[in-house]
A and B are shown apart, each in its own frame.
Chain A
Amino acid sequence: METPTVLFYVFAAGAVASALGMVLNLRNTVAGAMNLVATMVCLAGIYLLLEAYLVAVIQIMVYGGAIVVLFLFVVMLLNLRGDTFPPGRLRLAKVAAVLLVLAVVGRGLALLTRALPEPGPVPEGFGGYALLGVALYTDYVLLVEMASLLLLAAIVGALVLAKRRID
Protein backbone atom coordinates (compact mmCIF):
# COMPACT_ATOMS: atom_id res chain seq x y z
CA MET A 1 0.00 0.00 0.00
CA GLU A 2 1.63 3.21 -1.09
CA THR A 3 1.05 6.54 0.56
CA PRO A 4 -1.27 8.01 -2.10
CA THR A 5 -3.53 4.96 -1.89
CA VAL A 6 -3.68 5.03 1.90
CA LEU A 7 -4.32 8.77 1.88
CA PHE A 8 -7.09 8.32 -0.67
CA TYR A 9 -8.88 5.81 1.53
CA VAL A 10 -8.50 8.06 4.56
CA PHE A 11 -9.94 11.04 2.68
CA ALA A 12 -12.68 8.92 1.13
CA ALA A 13 -13.73 7.57 4.51
CA GLY A 14 -13.70 11.10 5.91
CA ALA A 15 -15.78 12.42 3.03
CA VAL A 16 -18.41 9.68 3.34
CA ALA A 17 -18.58 9.98 7.13
CA SER A 18 -18.97 13.78 6.96
CA ALA A 19 -21.58 13.54 4.21
CA LEU A 20 -23.59 11.06 6.24
CA GLY A 21 -23.16 13.29 9.28
CA MET A 22 -24.57 16.21 7.38
CA VAL A 23 -27.54 14.40 5.90
CA LEU A 24 -28.51 12.31 8.90
CA ASN A 25 -27.99 15.03 11.52
CA LEU A 26 -31.48 15.88 12.65
CA ARG A 27 -30.82 18.08 15.65
CA ASN A 28 -28.23 20.63 14.69
CA THR A 29 -28.04 22.37 11.32
CA VAL A 30 -24.80 24.20 12.15
CA ALA A 31 -23.08 20.90 12.86
CA GLY A 32 -24.40 19.72 9.50
CA ALA A 33 -22.79 22.70 7.78
CA MET A 34 -19.48 21.98 9.53
CA ASN A 35 -19.74 18.41 8.30
CA LEU A 36 -20.18 19.80 4.80
CA VAL A 37 -16.94 21.76 5.23
CA ALA A 38 -15.20 18.57 6.29
CA THR A 39 -16.51 16.85 3.15
CA MET A 40 -15.22 19.70 0.98
CA VAL A 41 -11.77 19.55 2.55
CA CYS A 42 -11.58 15.76 2.17
CA LEU A 43 -12.59 16.08 -1.47
CA ALA A 44 -9.93 18.75 -1.95
CA GLY A 45 -7.42 16.29 -0.55
CA ILE A 46 -8.55 13.71 -3.11
CA TYR A 47 -8.20 16.28 -5.89
CA LEU A 48 -4.61 16.86 -4.75
CA LEU A 49 -3.99 13.12 -4.99
CA LEU A 50 -5.46 13.17 -8.50
CA GLU A 51 -2.94 15.89 -9.46
CA ALA A 52 -5.58 18.60 -9.92
CA TYR A 53 -3.81 21.19 -7.79
CA LEU A 54 -5.49 24.41 -8.85
CA VAL A 55 -8.92 22.81 -8.62
CA ALA A 56 -8.17 21.57 -5.10
CA VAL A 57 -7.11 24.99 -3.85
CA ILE A 58 -10.06 26.71 -5.52
CA GLN A 59 -12.37 24.10 -3.98
CA ILE A 60 -11.15 25.01 -0.50
CA MET A 61 -11.19 28.74 -1.17
CA VAL A 62 -14.58 28.98 -2.88
CA TYR A 63 -16.58 26.03 -1.56
CA GLY A 64 -15.08 25.69 1.85
CA GLY A 65 -14.31 29.32 2.47
CA ALA A 66 -17.23 31.16 0.95
CA ILE A 67 -20.21 28.98 0.07
CA VAL A 68 -20.47 27.10 3.35
CA VAL A 69 -19.80 30.32 5.27
CA LEU A 70 -22.83 31.71 3.46
CA PHE A 71 -24.85 28.69 4.60
CA LEU A 72 -23.67 29.24 8.14
CA PHE A 73 -24.61 32.92 8.05
CA VAL A 74 -28.13 32.12 6.89
CA VAL A 75 -28.57 29.36 9.45
CA MET A 76 -27.35 31.60 12.24
CA LEU A 77 -29.30 34.67 11.17
CA LEU A 78 -32.53 32.72 10.81
CA ASN A 79 -31.71 30.95 14.08
CA LEU A 80 -32.62 27.56 12.74
CA ARG A 81 -32.53 24.71 15.16
CA GLY A 82 -33.16 21.16 14.12
CA ASP A 83 -35.48 19.30 11.86
CA THR A 84 -38.71 17.75 13.05
CA PHE A 85 -40.21 14.90 11.12
CA PRO A 86 -43.84 13.87 11.06
CA PRO A 87 -43.96 10.21 12.17
CA GLY A 88 -44.52 8.64 8.77
CA ARG A 89 -41.63 10.60 7.29
CA LEU A 90 -39.11 9.04 9.62
CA ARG A 91 -40.05 5.58 8.44
CA LEU A 92 -39.69 6.74 4.84
CA ALA A 93 -36.24 8.09 5.69
CA LYS A 94 -35.20 4.77 7.15
CA VAL A 95 -36.46 2.91 4.08
CA ALA A 96 -34.49 5.29 1.89
CA ALA A 97 -31.39 4.71 3.98
CA VAL A 98 -31.77 0.94 3.65
CA LEU A 99 -32.06 1.29 -0.12
CA LEU A 100 -28.95 3.46 -0.09
CA VAL A 101 -27.01 0.83 1.82
CA LEU A 102 -28.13 -1.82 -0.66
CA ALA A 103 -27.03 0.36 -3.56
CA VAL A 104 -23.66 0.94 -1.95
CA VAL A 105 -23.14 -2.75 -1.31
CA GLY A 106 -24.15 -3.52 -4.87
CA ARG A 107 -21.63 -0.96 -6.13
CA GLY A 108 -19.04 -2.50 -3.92
CA LEU A 109 -19.65 -5.94 -5.41
CA ALA A 110 -19.40 -4.48 -8.89
CA LEU A 111 -16.01 -3.02 -7.99
CA LEU A 112 -14.58 -6.49 -7.61
CA THR A 113 -13.98 -6.68 -11.35
CA ARG A 114 -11.84 -3.69 -12.27
CA ALA A 115 -13.49 -1.85 -15.12
CA LEU A 116 -11.25 1.20 -15.52
CA PRO A 117 -7.67 0.98 -16.79
CA GLU A 118 -4.75 2.09 -14.68
CA PRO A 119 -4.03 5.80 -15.02
CA GLY A 120 -0.92 6.56 -17.00
CA PRO A 121 1.78 9.11 -16.35
CA VAL A 122 0.79 12.71 -16.18
CA PRO A 123 2.11 15.33 -18.62
CA GLU A 124 4.41 18.04 -17.42
CA GLY A 125 2.63 20.81 -15.53
CA PHE A 126 -0.70 19.01 -15.53
CA GLY A 127 -3.18 20.53 -13.10
CA GLY A 128 -0.91 23.45 -12.36
CA TYR A 129 -2.08 27.00 -12.60
CA ALA A 130 0.16 27.92 -15.55
CA LEU A 131 -1.15 25.52 -18.18
CA LEU A 132 -4.66 25.58 -16.81
CA GLY A 133 -4.67 29.38 -16.85
CA VAL A 134 -3.51 29.45 -20.44
CA ALA A 135 -6.19 26.92 -21.38
CA LEU A 136 -8.87 28.92 -19.57
CA TYR A 137 -8.03 32.12 -21.38
CA THR A 138 -7.41 30.70 -24.86
CA ASP A 139 -9.54 27.62 -25.43
CA TYR A 140 -12.24 28.23 -22.87
CA VAL A 141 -12.40 32.00 -22.77
CA LEU A 142 -16.10 32.04 -23.64
CA LEU A 143 -16.82 29.82 -20.64
CA VAL A 144 -14.97 32.22 -18.38
CA GLU A 145 -16.91 35.19 -19.74
CA MET A 146 -20.20 33.36 -19.35
CA ALA A 147 -19.33 32.42 -15.79
CA SER A 148 -18.64 36.06 -14.98
CA LEU A 149 -22.00 37.09 -16.47
CA LEU A 150 -23.70 34.37 -14.46
CA LEU A 151 -22.06 35.56 -11.27
CA LEU A 152 -23.16 39.11 -12.02
CA ALA A 153 -26.73 37.91 -12.47
CA ALA A 154 -26.46 35.99 -9.20
CA ILE A 155 -25.21 39.06 -7.33
CA VAL A 156 -28.09 41.17 -8.61
CA GLY A 157 -30.57 38.39 -7.88
CA ALA A 158 -29.35 37.85 -4.34
CA LEU A 159 -29.43 41.57 -3.64
CA VAL A 160 -32.99 41.91 -4.92
CA LEU A 161 -34.23 38.84 -3.06
CA ALA A 162 -32.67 39.66 0.27
CA LYS A 163 -33.45 43.35 0.32
CA ARG A 164 -36.04 44.55 2.77
CA ARG A 165 -39.26 45.60 1.12
CA ILE A 166 -39.84 49.31 1.37
CA ASP A 167 -43.60 49.31 1.72
Chain B
Amino acid sequence: MVPLDHVIGLSAILFAIGVLGVATRRNLIVIVMSIELMLNAANLAFVGFNRLWPGSSGAARFDGQVFVLMIIAVAAAEVAVGLGIVISMFRNRDSVNVDDASLLKW
Protein backbone atom coordinates (compact mmCIF):
# COMPACT_ATOMS: atom_id res chain seq x y z
CA MET B 1 0.00 0.00 0.00
CA VAL B 2 1.23 3.45 -0.79
CA PRO B 3 1.68 5.37 2.47
CA LEU B 4 -0.53 8.40 2.03
CA ASP B 5 1.23 10.31 4.78
CA HIS B 6 4.37 10.24 2.73
CA VAL B 7 2.47 11.20 -0.42
CA ILE B 8 1.31 14.40 1.25
CA GLY B 9 4.78 14.88 2.69
CA LEU B 10 6.26 14.55 -0.80
CA SER B 11 3.77 17.11 -2.05
CA ALA B 12 4.90 19.51 0.68
CA ILE B 13 8.56 18.94 -0.14
CA LEU B 14 8.03 19.56 -3.86
CA PHE B 15 6.02 22.68 -3.11
CA ALA B 16 8.83 23.95 -0.90
CA ILE B 17 11.37 23.29 -3.65
CA GLY B 18 9.16 25.22 -6.04
CA VAL B 19 8.97 28.14 -3.65
CA LEU B 20 12.75 28.03 -3.33
CA GLY B 21 13.02 28.23 -7.09
CA VAL B 22 10.64 31.17 -7.41
CA ALA B 23 12.27 33.08 -4.56
CA THR B 24 15.92 32.67 -5.40
CA ARG B 25 16.30 32.19 -9.16
CA ARG B 26 16.59 35.24 -11.40
CA ASN B 27 15.89 33.60 -14.74
CA LEU B 28 12.26 34.17 -15.65
CA ILE B 29 11.90 30.82 -17.39
CA VAL B 30 13.18 28.93 -14.37
CA ILE B 31 10.71 30.89 -12.24
CA VAL B 32 7.84 29.75 -14.48
CA MET B 33 9.15 26.19 -14.32
CA SER B 34 9.17 26.39 -10.52
CA ILE B 35 5.56 27.57 -10.63
CA GLU B 36 4.78 24.44 -12.68
CA LEU B 37 6.49 22.40 -9.98
CA MET B 38 4.26 23.97 -7.34
CA LEU B 39 1.18 23.18 -9.41
CA ASN B 40 2.36 19.59 -9.70
CA ALA B 41 2.81 19.38 -5.94
CA ALA B 42 -0.79 20.53 -5.51
CA ASN B 43 -1.91 17.94 -8.08
CA LEU B 44 -0.19 15.23 -6.08
CA ALA B 45 -2.01 16.29 -2.94
CA PHE B 46 -5.34 16.22 -4.78
CA VAL B 47 -4.77 12.76 -6.17
CA GLY B 48 -3.53 11.49 -2.81
CA PHE B 49 -6.60 12.68 -0.97
CA ASN B 50 -8.88 11.35 -3.68
CA ARG B 51 -7.29 7.97 -3.14
CA LEU B 52 -8.00 8.26 0.56
CA TRP B 53 -11.71 8.95 -0.03
CA PRO B 54 -12.59 7.27 -3.31
CA GLY B 55 -16.27 6.77 -2.54
CA SER B 56 -17.96 3.42 -2.62
CA SER B 57 -18.67 0.99 -5.42
CA GLY B 58 -21.25 2.48 -7.73
CA ALA B 59 -20.80 5.92 -6.18
CA ALA B 60 -17.14 6.60 -6.87
CA ARG B 61 -16.01 10.15 -6.24
CA PHE B 62 -13.62 11.72 -8.70
CA ASP B 63 -13.45 15.27 -7.37
CA GLY B 64 -9.69 15.22 -6.86
CA GLN B 65 -8.90 13.76 -10.26
CA VAL B 66 -11.25 16.12 -12.12
CA PHE B 67 -9.60 18.98 -10.27
CA VAL B 68 -6.21 17.69 -11.36
CA LEU B 69 -7.33 17.58 -15.00
CA MET B 70 -8.55 21.15 -14.75
CA ILE B 71 -5.29 22.24 -13.11
CA ILE B 72 -3.35 20.62 -15.95
CA ALA B 73 -5.46 22.52 -18.48
CA VAL B 74 -5.00 25.78 -16.59
CA ALA B 75 -1.25 25.17 -16.31
CA ALA B 76 -1.02 24.60 -20.05
CA ALA B 77 -2.84 27.84 -20.75
CA GLU B 78 -0.74 29.72 -18.22
CA VAL B 79 2.53 28.41 -19.63
CA ALA B 80 1.53 29.39 -23.14
CA VAL B 81 0.71 32.96 -22.19
CA GLY B 82 3.59 33.19 -19.69
CA LEU B 83 6.15 32.16 -22.27
CA GLY B 84 4.63 34.66 -24.69
CA ILE B 85 5.29 37.32 -22.06
CA VAL B 86 8.85 36.03 -21.65
CA ILE B 87 9.42 36.31 -25.39
CA SER B 88 8.07 39.87 -25.42
CA MET B 89 10.30 40.81 -22.52
CA PHE B 90 13.29 39.28 -24.27
CA ARG B 91 12.52 41.29 -27.39
CA ASN B 92 12.39 44.51 -25.42
CA ARG B 93 15.33 44.14 -23.08
CA ASP B 94 17.38 41.32 -24.61
CA SER B 95 17.48 39.53 -21.27
CA VAL B 96 15.16 37.36 -19.19
CA ASN B 97 16.74 38.26 -15.89
CA VAL B 98 13.99 39.59 -13.64
CA ASP B 99 16.44 42.03 -12.05
CA ASP B 100 16.41 43.88 -15.36
CA ALA B 101 12.63 44.33 -15.23
CA SER B 102 12.66 46.70 -12.28
CA LEU B 103 11.34 49.92 -13.85
CA LEU B 104 8.39 50.09 -11.48
CA LYS B 105 10.49 49.50 -8.35
CA TRP B 106 10.92 52.39 -5.99
Is A–B contact present in the complex under a CB 8 A cutoff? yes
Which A residues are closer than 8 A to B by beta carbons? 2, 4-5, 8-9, 12, 15-16, 19-20, 22-23, 29, 32-33, 36, 39-40, 43, 46-47, 49-52, 54-55, 58-59, 62-63, 66-67, 70-71, 74-75, 78, 80, 83-86, 89, 92-93, 96-97, 100, 103-104, 107-108, 111, 114-120, 122-127, 131-132, 135-136, 140, 143, 147, 150-151, 153-155, 157-158, 160-162
Distance to closest chain B CB from A53 (angstroms): 10
Q: List the 10 closest A-B pairs by CB distance, nearest first.
A: A161-B84, A154-B77, A23-B21, A93-B24, A123-B57, A147-B73, A158-B80, A123-B60, A158-B84, A50-B51
**A100-B16 in contact (CB<8A):** yes
Distance to closest chain A CB from B51 (angstroms): 4
Q: Which residue of B lies closest to A150 (CB)?
A: B77
Q: How many A-B contacts at CB < 8 Å in the complex?
A: 226
Q: Which residues of A contact B81 (CB under 8 A)?
A: 154, 157-158, 161
Q: Which residues of A contact B26 (CB under 8 A)?
A: 83-85, 89
